[in-house]
């Protein structure tokens, strides 16, 4: 899955990244789902090990356009993990209290504790995406935030946090189909907002903003992955593979008991 990583200091042009890509995976959806189930089992075991060893922290950042699949990733990729060691933090429109502080204030409150895996559904990057596209702050303000975010993530990494960032890439045709599916299904009307159509009109502006995010904030200590997300099964397969490989790379071990259990007999 290294082909989807954004190399530090590279210049990203999203038009060159195919949202329908399935890489070198030749098995199609059926085989992909089989592989995904195996990865889910591995991730479940690795997350339990992360919690038990209590040495590492893992932060997963999910960013996407509307209907990009952030909620779907959380449901499918993390199916089976222990809720006591995994936390989802969603960042919506800032509250008045949050706006009274610097833009990273609310983000800092959500970062993982030792032994914990935290999933950011949207993140600090909203403050160089939405605020930029909607001109909520001057360019000199949001422009300075790229380096501020890099320093924030460097601080997390230096204090034991493993950071993985995933941009879920869909195209406008796929978004149209997903929005239409929400409109056609009464049980999904709650997910449909008329404001989504206004945001859709700003697609070129968002693509330019995302290109800057991916180019300026993919680092060795907090890399971005551009995940082809038109095919949901492959999207989940990419993310699961990266997570499993990364967690296995931590070389975690179960802690030994402080007591001698060799002579224990349970009657």
Task: Kindly state whether residue 128 falls inside one of the protein's structural domains.
Answer: yes
Confidence grade of residue 239 (pLDDT, cut at 50, 70, 90): very high
Output DSSP code: residue 5.
B
Which of 23-27, 91-95, 144-148 is least confident? Answer: 23-27
Strand partners, 119: 60, 88
Q: In what order do the strands lie in the sheet with 117-121?
A: 86-90, 117-121, 57-64, 161-169, 224-228
The pLDDT, as a whole number, for residue 261 is 73
Q: What is the rounded average pLDDT for all residues in the chain?
A: 95
Closest C-alpha to 27, from 243, 241, 233:
233
Task: Kindly state whether residue 261 falls inside one of the protein's structural domains.
Answer: no
Range of the domain at 138: 2-249
Q: Count the domains in the chain.
A: 1
**CA pair distance 23, 199, nearest whole angstrom:** 30
pLDDT at residue 116 is higher than 80: yes
Q: What is the pLDDT of residues 5-57, one digit of tens each?
A: 999 999 999 999 999 999 878 778 999 999 999 999 999 999 999 999 999 99
Does residue 84 contact residue 51 with C-beta atoms inside 8 Å?
yes
**CA pair distance 188, 209, nearest whole angstrom:** 29
pLDDT at residue 262 is higher than 80: no
CA-CA-CA-CA torsion sign (138, 143, 148, 153): positive
pLDDT at residue 194 is higher than 80: yes
The pLDDT, as a whole number, for residue 266 is 84
**CA pair distance 210, 198, nearest whole angstrom:** 18
Task: Kindly state whether residue 238 falls inside one of the protein's structural domains.
Answer: yes
Task: Kindly state whether residue 216 falls inside one of the protein's structural domains.
Answer: yes
Does residue 175 contact residue 182 with C-beta atoms inside 8 Å?
no
**CA pair distance 229, 168, nearest whole angstrom:** 5
Angle 232-249/70-77 helices, nearest 10 degrees? 60
Does residue 62 contact residue 117 with C-beta atoms inside 8 Å?
no
Instruction: Report how far Cα 181 is from the mean position of its chain's Cα atoms.
Output: 24
**CA pair distance 20, 171, nearest whole angstrom:** 9
Task: Kindly state whether residue 107 falls inside one of the protein's structural domains.
Answer: yes
Strand (E) or helix (H) holding 59? strand 57-64
Task: Kindly state whether residue 256 falls inside one of the protein's structural domains.
Answer: no
Task: Kindly state whether residue 113 falls inside one of the protein's structural domains.
Answer: yes
Task: Kindly state whether residue 97 falls inside one of the protein's structural domains.
Answer: yes
CATH of the domain at 80: 3.40.50.300
Confidence grade of residue 95 (pLDDT, cut at 50, 70, 90): very high
């Amino acid at each position: 899955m290294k082909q989807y990583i954004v190399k530090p200091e590279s210049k990203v042009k999203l038009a060159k990244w195919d949202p329908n890509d399935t890489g070198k995976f030749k098995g199609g959806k059926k085989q992909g789902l089989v592989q995904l189930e195996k990865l889910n089992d591995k991730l479940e075991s690795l997350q339990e090990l992360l919690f038990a060893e209590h040495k590492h922290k893992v932060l997963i950042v999910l960013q996407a356009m509307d209907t990009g699949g952030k909620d779907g990733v959380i449901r499918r990729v993390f199916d089976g993990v222990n809720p006591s060691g995994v936390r989802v933090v969603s960042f919506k429109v800032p509250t008045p209290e949050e706006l009274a502080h610097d833009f990273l204030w609310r983000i800092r409150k959500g970062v993982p504790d030792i032994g914990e895996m935290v999933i950011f559904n949207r993140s600090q990057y909203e403050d160089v995406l939405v605020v930029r596209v909607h001109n909520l702050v001057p360019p000199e303000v949001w422009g300075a935030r790229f380096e501020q975010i890099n320093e924030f993530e460097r601080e997390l990494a230096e204090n034991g946090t493993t950071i993985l960032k995933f941009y879920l890439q869909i195209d406008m045709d796929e978004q149209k189909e997903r929005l239409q599916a929400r409109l056609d299904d009464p049980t999904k009307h709650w997910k449909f907002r008329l404001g989504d159509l206004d945001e859709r009109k700003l697609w070129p502006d968002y693509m330019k903003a995302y290109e800057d995010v991916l180019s300026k904030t993919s680092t060795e200590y907090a890399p971005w992955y551009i995940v082809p997300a038109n095919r949901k099964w492959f999207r989940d397969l990419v993310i699961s593979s990266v997570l499993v490989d990364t967690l296995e790379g931590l070389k975690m071990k179960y802690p030994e008991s402080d007591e001698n259990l060799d002579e224990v007999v349970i009657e």
